Structure 1
Amino acid sequence: MKNKNSFIPIVLLMFGLSSCNDFLDVPSETNLTSATFFSSQTDFEKAVNGAYMPLRGLYASGANAATGSWLMGETHSDNTRYKYSPNYRATIDQENINDFMVTPTNTAVLNKWQGYYSVIARANQILATIDGVTFDAAKKSNLKGQALFLRAFSYFDLVQYFGKIPLHLVPATSLTDVSLPLSEVNDIYNQIIADATEAASLLPAKSAQEAGRATSGAAKTLLGNVHIVLKNWSAAESVLKEVVNSAEYSLVPNYADVFSTTNKNNSESVFEIQFRQGTDGYSSNFIYAFFPMPISATELTATMAKYGVAPAALASLTQEGYNIPTTDLIADYEAGDERLAASIGTATASGVDYPFILKYLHPHTTATFTDDNWPVYRYSEVLLFLAEALDEQGKSTEALPYLNEVRDRAGLDDVISAANLRDVIFHERRVELAFENKRWLDLARTGRAVDVISAFGAKVKANPQGYYFPAGQQPVPASFATIDLTFPLPAAEAQLSPYF
């Protein structure tokens, strides 16, 4: 698919063969096709497993850190920065996302686009064929619900980051199917709501579902999130109360334990991306992109040992660190907030102390093959979403218990007054959900992005050493000049489509 012209002979051949004898329409008995593969419950179970798979690539780091969703959700905000390395200049795309200089050729942008459309394509194949195959009705509902959830989840992320995008709802069988016009944002949201609503009706509760898979609670939380973004406050309140009243979820008493690798898919987990340490391709590794670099093996060993981690095969990290907490974020934690020590630690790199994301540092056997899952939705966010939905309807007094349930777990006093509750909830989301890819989307959806990031960018330029630039180095003049609310459509995809 590198050149549109390369499709022409294939398409002509396809249409030419279609007029030949009927025997050409018989599915191959030796090669797997959609006609021969999707014929049993087991086949659909395998297909649904495959639909989840691209999510690991979207949330992990890999050899190329540009695959991390955290680049567009966290570093593209005032929560985190990169530690500029003048000796490692192979990372311009990541820096440009942090500096608000994103172009259509940015690899992280392309990776997000391709990753989610891979999920969508796999979900579409399942949804197009599952009703035509007979097997256990409950199993079918579960599998169909998971596919609908994954498609809705993928489109929701894409529309928030890109705006107008192509809306693929059936498997592509021709060049026409591959290249679709950009759909209006409202049409995309309508489809997301339809998919998430149907998924919620088909999926089992968390207590009846295999750990790590989408549930009715996850679909309802997604639906509540969509309504929050669209400012459908009453609809958000209704569906989020269903999650709360289900009694399927509760806050883990100790904040740090929420993220422990010995406590995956816990009572607070609504949906998280599954990883497993080891060399079989299922491990995570984002913490190794988050350390300040360059950092020697000795310094890395000492830092990890300080937090009870001692993997084998540690080596120096010599590239450039990302997602390093800003002093602005650190200052936003209230005195006594137990989440600060659970979320942010200190690492010594090249003899200098830097903050780093402690939330994702846990014991693992071998360096770079970590066991951490990535939290997408937690019950604490459900509570904060519900508080926001109530406050926006003038029900501030009703909102306070949900907000305070989150604060109580953090060791903080209850909020008593409903004055300026919108800002209080916004602040609470920042510290409760730090480093979970929420900050940029929160800034954009609440209309704060331009003001907050413009002020933040001015601070970075005025004091680059305070934002991890070495002496004598500073951001390029064009950084933070334009604060766009959506990312550009990938140039590599534009070359394959006449519509953008």
Structure 2
Amino acid sequence: MKKIYIAILSLSLAFTSCKDFLEEENLSNTTAEEFYVTAVGFENLVNSNYSQLRDIYGNEPWLFCAGTDMYAEGRNAEPPGLSRYTQLNSSSDGVALLYDECYEAIQIANMTMYYGDITEQTDALTAQLGEVKYLRANAFFLLVQTYGGVSLVTDYIKEPVLEFSRNSEEEAYSFIISELESALSMVNDGAYDGHVTKRAVEHLLAKVYLTRGYESFGSSADFSAAATHADAAIDGEGLTIAFNDLWLPDNDMNTETLFSVQYDDSSVTVNPSSYGNQQAYFFGSYLGGAEVAGDAPYRSYTLCPTQYAIDLFEQSDERWEGTFMTTIYDRYFDYYDEDDHSGLSVFHYYEPKWYANDATYKADYLAAHPEVLETNYHEYGTYNASVNPSNDYETITVKKFDSPDVPFSASSSVRDIVLARLGESYLIAAEAYLKAGDATTGLDRLNVVRERAGVADATLAEFDIDYILDERGRELLGEYHRWFDLKRTGTLVDRASMYHYLIETSNFAGANGEQKILRPIPQTALDLNQNQDFEQNPAYE
């Protein structure tokens, strides 16, 4: 086994509850060796793997979203290395987040697998170990996509190891797939209840195979396997929930959710600013926050939609209203708190692109809403990130992740972070079938998504990778996939430089004639490594 230093901080596992079924019990005056070999203790250890998802996904989402075609900074600055690539190096802000948190997750998973061999035997044990395999594979998948070849560590490390080497990307993908195939035979089938299920494993396997298929060591067989696993994740289920209803604050556990990072009110009440997540915080204008006594949520004004993201939606697409808060009332949260909106006073309105070529739309709207000031009526083209906003409300805000119960802190959302859902399974299948040479079947899968959105079917003539990326943008805006989508499909440089107002193609130029696609290995990891032959990614040497 290749050696690795893992920042083995004291692994006092964060015993904070997820949902009730994942609650952990911390028994005092009991050693780990005594506690984890009991059924209750081992269940707590398994649940700590789920808790670590909060540290991977619940903080600043720069590594998932920044520096892409869909999101750019508005009034407030993003980390320049991750958002513009010009200052990207091994010490850049945010570069180490996934590296550190994913290896922490891997260490917890390895610890769980170690105790799984010696703990009390129960009927739940096989499924529990399968869940941990899935979570460990997910951590490695995030690492290999972000940093390239990484050290594969599968042993529980009890003492710090200060020398380590890199496995190849090909070895990493082989391990991830092997781990997930094993998990598939171990986890429970049935409806998602917060634990990893077979459909969640099928979904992730599909994405891993799809991603490997693009690599130099991949093959067309990977795309075929991705299509098969995506169909297994779909499992014959159609998209029957209205898009807007998918994202209602009390509907995170709808039947289309396959896997998520879970939160609830009780898990964050001690310190909402620390134990919630930041997903709702990043996508759109600052709206006044706590200073307006509950009228509006706090936003960062950083990951604001680009004009490209806004332009994705056509007139009949239900995802336009389902994604963006196009109408802001005097009190923002009246959108959720009031069943009847007809008598509410409109404060701000953001017109869609189909208003742009017909002045009667605006005239009719203002006539119907005389309370809206002309300055608070935002014409198409004036509310994207590139307008360099200086005042509140100047960029359109994403409502999908609103958390009305705890609106005032950057980290206070108690909404679940959805990592895998049925709509994406269909889009993975669409891409996989296209790449496998079966465009007709791929188009059928994509058009299921479009049918739910209320738009016309796409045609074979327009069905290509760019169309799929556009469709993924419409369906998955604000969800944590975009950087990986562009990196996977080899379109990051072209699309980011085309649609992000602060990025030029030259921004990606790195050392040794390499482009800065992979992120650099964090300097902290390099400094702690006594293996002098460990290689940095070539664009940063």
Bin for the TM-score computed over the shorter chain: 0.7 to 0.9
Shift of 1:206: 3.5
- Unmatched runs of 5 consecutive residues or more in structure 2: 9-27, 214-221, 329-347, 349-389, 535-541
After superposition, the Cα gap between the structure-2 partners of 1:42 and 1:302, relative to the gap in structure 1 and judged at 3 Å, is closer
Cα deviation 1:57-95 (Å, max 9, x = unaligned): 2222xxxxxx32x2112122121112244xxxxx66x24
After superposition, the Cα gap between the structure-2 partners of 1:480 and 1:239, relative to the gap in structure 1 and judged at 3 Å, is closer
1:270 is paired with a residue whose SS is strand
Shift of 1:352: 5.0
1:377 correspondence with 2:447: no
After superposition, the Cα gap between the structure-2 partners of 1:285 and 1:351, relative to the gap in structure 1 and judged at 3 Å, is closer
1:213 is paired with a residue whose SS is coil
Cα deviation 1:143-194 (Å, max 9, x = unaligned): 1011100000000011001102111101113444x53211111111111001
After superposition, the Cα gap between the structure-2 partners of 1:352 and 1:222, relative to the gap in structure 1 and judged at 3 Å, is closer
Which residue is equivalent to 1:234? 224
CA contact (8 A) 1:269 1:375 kept: yes
CA contact (8 A) 2:493 2:508 kept: no
Which residue identity does 1:203 align to in structure 2?
Answer: V
- From 230, 240, 260, the counterpart of 1:272: 260
Which residue is equivalent to 2:303? 323
Q: Whole-Å Cα distance in 2 between the matches of residues 417 and 107 of structure 1?
A: 43
Which residue is equivalent to 1:15? none
- From 56, 70, 83, the counterpart of 1:79: 70
Q: Whole-Å Cα distance in 1 between the matches of residues 406 and 528 of structure 2?
A: 43
Shift of 1:252: 4.4
2:460 is paired with a residue whose SS is coil
- From 147, 153, 164, the counterpart of 1:168: 153
CA contact (8 A) 2:285 2:392 kept: no
Q: Which one has the bigger helix percentage? A: 1
Q: Whole-Å Cα distance in 2 between the matches of residues 148 and 259 of structure 1?
A: 29
Cα deviation 1:92-134 (Å, max 9, x = unaligned): 6x24311123221234222221111111111101112213334
CA contact (8 A) 1:168 1:180 kept: no
1:184 correspondence with 2:168: yes
After superposition, the Cα gap between the structure-2 partners of 1:51 and 1:324, relative to the gap in structure 1 and judged at 3 Å, is same
Q: Whole-Å Cα distance in 2 between the matches of residues 495 and 31 of structure 1?
A: 36
1:375 is paired with a residue whose SS is strand
After superposition, the Cα gap between the structure-2 partners of 1:300 and 1:206, relative to the gap in structure 1 and judged at 3 Å, is farther
Which residue is equivalent to 1:103? 89
After superposition, the Cα gap between the structure-2 partners of 1:355 and 1:437, relative to the gap in structure 1 and judged at 3 Å, is same
Which residue identity does 1:292 align to in structure 2?
Answer: S
After superposition, the Cα gap between the structure-2 partners of 1:163 and 1:383, relative to the gap in structure 1 and judged at 3 Å, is same
After superposition, the Cα gap between the structure-2 partners of 1:78 and 1:41, relative to the gap in structure 1 and judged at 3 Å, is same
Cα deviation 1:237-270 (Å, max 9, x = unaligned): 222222223x5x5424211221223112211101
- From 48, 52, 55, the counterpart of 1:54: 52
Which residue is equivalent to 2:387? none
Matches within 5 A, 1:185-334: 185-207=169-191, 211-231=193-213, 232-245=222-235, 247=236, 249-277=237-265, 278-280=268-270, 282-293=275-286, 295=288, 297=290, 301-303=294-296, 321-334=301-314
Q: What fraction of aligned residue pairs are identical, expressed as a percent?
A: 24
Cα deviation 1:281-321 (Å, max 9, x = unaligned): 543343234443484656695555xxxxxxxxxxx77xx52
Which residue is equivalent to 2:325? 345
After superposition, the Cα gap between the structure-2 partners of 1:371 and 1:30, relative to the gap in structure 1 and judged at 3 Å, is closer
Shift of 1:353: 2.3
Q: Whole-Å Cα distance in 1 between the matches of residues 306 and 485 of structure 2?
A: 17
CA contact (8 A) 2:286 2:393 kept: no
Which residue identity does 1:494 align to in structure 2?
Answer: L
1:287 is paired with a residue whose SS is helix
Which residue is equivalent to 1:495? 527
Q: Whole-Å Cα distance in 2 between the matches of residues 461 and 198 of structure 1?
A: 42
Cα deviation 1:384-423 (Å, max 9, x = unaligned): 1111111222212222221111001111011243554333
Which residue identity does 2:443 align to in structure 1?
Answer: L
CA contact (8 A) 1:203 1:214 kept: yes
1:361 is paired with a residue whose SS is coil
Q: How many residues align?
A: 426
Deviates more, 1:102-111 or 1:287-296: 287-296
- From 125, 132, 136, the counterpart of 2:111: 125
Q: Whole-Å Cα distance in 2 between the matches of residues 164 and 174 of structure 1?
A: 24
